[in-house]
Amino acid sequence: MPIRHELIGRTPDRMKDLPTWLLSRAFARSSALLAEGFRTDGDGLRGYHYRLLAALDQWGPASQADLGRDTGIDRSDVTAVLGELEARRLVERTTDPAHRRRNIVTITSAGMQALNELDAVVGEVQETVLAPLSPAQRRQLVGLLRRLGGPRPGSADDQAENTT
């Protein structure tokens, strides 16, 4: 059966209003825009770089293992990405004197500058993604997404979050 090109990209009626479908479409669009923003204006840096620099800025020096756990990035990816950041002198790795097998990572002043530049890239993408929404709708969407992306109600993570 030949492909009818005018039909490519259509969504079956039974799917078009499913929240999971709509979320996946929004995710695909926002991810593509973010990747393009990093590619064109990120000076070779990507989402993993941004996430690690932001974590170091907010939480201060950390071990590579803690960075992986805290950011949800696989340990081997953390090592590779930190190597790239270190080669650009955006972070420094030093041996933890208390645990000689552990590296402590610190953001440098050049890393802070790069992070601020990436903040601008990410900010532009947020504006593009959220352009169809009013400021009130943006706040509402963010609140709803936090609820949907948070711990599953009744889970250990949910209970821990509700006791702090």
The string of pLDDT tens digits covering residues 103-155 is: 999 999 999 999 999 999 999 999 999 999 999 999 999 999 999 988 776 66
27 within domain boundaries: yes
Q: How far apart are CA 36 and CA 33, in angstroms?
A: 5
1 within domain boundaries: no
117 within domain boundaries: yes
Give backbone dihedrals phi and psi of 121, rounded to 5 degrees, phi first: -60, -50
- Per-residue confidence band for 8, with pLDDT thresholds at 50, 70 and 90: low
> What mean pLDDT do residues 73-85 have?
95
Structural domain for 74, as ranges: 18-151
55 within domain boundaries: yes
Domain count, the chain: 1
17 SS3 class: coil
Say which CATH number the domain at 80 has. 1.10.10.10
Q: E strand or H helix at 63, and its extent?
A: strand 62-63
46 within domain boundaries: yes
Question: 29-63, pLDDT tens digit by residue?
Answer: 999 999 999 999 999 999 999 999 999 999 999 99
